[in-house]
Structure 1
Amino acid sequence: MQPSVRIITPIAAPPSRVWEILVDLPGYRVWHPNMEVLDSDATLTVGSLLRLRTNGGTAAELEFTVTVTEVDEPSVLAWQGGDPKTFYGHHRFTLVPEDGGTRLVNEETFSGAMADAVLAQNRAAVEAQYTAGDAALKSAAEDS
Structure 2
Amino acid sequence: MHQIVTEIDIAASPERVWSILMDFPAYPQWNPFIRSLSGVAKPGEKLRATIQPEERRAMTFRPRVLKAADQQELRWLGRLGFPGLFDGQHYFQLTALSNGYTRFTHGERFSGILVGVFISSMEAATKAGFVAMNAALKDRAEGEARDGSMHSEPSH
Unpaired runs of 5+ residues, structure 2, are: 145-156
Q: What's the CA shift string for 1:59-111, capped at 9, x where partnerless?
A: 52111110111011111111111132321100111100112100001110001
Closer, same or farther: CA 38–142 of 1 in aligned 2, 3 Å: closer
TM superposition shift of 1:34: 2.4
TM superposition shift of 1:121: 2.0
Query: What is the SS of the residue equivalent to 2:137?
Result: helix
How many residues in Structure 1 have an aligned counterpart in Structure 2? 140
**Which has the larger Rg?**
2
More displaced 10-residue stretch of structure 1: 131-140 or 58-67:
58-67
Q: What's the CA shift string for 1:26-80, capped at 9, x where partnerless?
A: 01111101223354xx221111111111129x65211111011101111111111
Which of 36, 41, 65 matches 1:44?
41
Identity value in percent: 33
- The runs of 4+ residues in structure 1 deviating greater than 6 Å are none
What is the correspondence of 1:16-31 to structure 2 with a 5 Å cutoff?
16-31=15-30
TM-score using structure 2 length: 0.84
TM-score using structure 1 length: 0.91
Unpaired runs of 5+ residues, structure 1, are: none
Cα RMSD, aligned residues only: 1.5
TM superposition shift of 1:117: 2.6
Closer, same or farther: CA 96–53 of 1 in aligned 2, 3 Å: same
Contact 2:27 2:37 (8 Å CA) reproduced: no
